[in-house]
Amino acid sequence: MIRRKATAYLQLLRKHRIAGLIAAFQPRDPEAHSVLQSLLAHHVPVVLMGSRQPHESIVMVTEDDEHGTFLVTSHLLDLGHRRIGMIRPPTGSEVEKDRVTGFVKAHSSRSIEVAPELMVPGGFDVPDGQRGVSALMQLPKPPTAIVAANDLVAIGSLNALRHMNKRVPEEMAVVGYDNIRMAELFNPSITTIAQPLYEMGETAMGAVLARISNRELGGEIIRFETRLIVRASSAGITSFLQSKTNH
């Protein structure tokens, strides 16, 4: 449904002969690609906010998903976790590959191999977190920490753990991605990865205006770094892990 709406909007904008386009979605179906090709053929500057550059003439404003997941997973490893579960982004989503790669690389940098059963299917909504926690906690050896696909999935994970009477972060650490407002307000507040959305939007606008003024400018990829924000959902876990080891 969302993809069909995006394609319909693109067609409408093309009919109105827009001077430039900024879109915060990844064109996947052939019709959307066709509309973008038509805009490019008529020298309409296109700036996309996403992870993949579908055409070399398009400006891609993106953030480093791989590095972001590397950062948040490394944070858990620094706290002493060695068995970390991951509730993955939706299969085939534009961020899935980079997020999984960052997760695995963080472990590899410490010579730790990730057990395949620790990476469970997921999505981007609260129920995905609940289902992911259920799958991870049924393992013969459950993880001590969870990397959620985003903050909504982290919230679902925290709700599920609460129903299981698991203390966070004392018995299980949970981290998210995106730094939505609710991540700070939730109890416990959620450790997450922040994206510089304002700067990305400002850059996208600057890029499209520059190309409206100068049609000779080509496409490029502009990549922003992410930032780790540590909150209560992962703080203070080290002492608990040490006490478990001692016992």
Candidates 87, 74, 241, 106; CA nearest to 172 is 241
* Three-state DSSP state, 223: strand
The token pair that represents 162 in the structure block: 């609460």
pLDDT-derived band at 1 (thresholds 50, 70, 90) equals very low
Could you read off the pLDDT of 43-93 as tens digits, one per residue? 889 999 887 888 888 999 999 999 999 999 999 999 999 999 999 999 888
The token pair that represents 175 in the structure block: 């981290």
The token pair that represents 201 in the structure block: 């939007």
CA atoms of 223 and 229, how far apart (whole Å):
19
Residue 142 pLDDT exceeds 70: yes
* Three-state DSSP state, 87: strand
Q: What is the mean pLDDT of the chain?
A: 88
Topology at the third CATH level for domain 65-194+229-246: Rossmann fold (3.40.50)
| Helical pair 151-163 and 126-137, crossing angle rounded to 10 deg | 50
Could you read off the pLDDT of 146-205 as tens digits, one per residue? 999 999 999 999 999 999 999 999 999 999 999 999 999 999 999 999 999 899 999 999
Label residue 158 exposed, middle or buried (CB < 10 Å: 0-12, 13-18, 19+): buried
Label residue 12 exposed, middle or buried (CB < 10 Å: 0-12, 13-18, 19+): exposed
pLDDT for the residue numbered 2: 43
Reported pTM: 0.84
pLDDT-derived band at 240 (thresholds 50, 70, 90) equals low
Query: What are the domain boundaries of the chain?
Result: 65-194+229-246
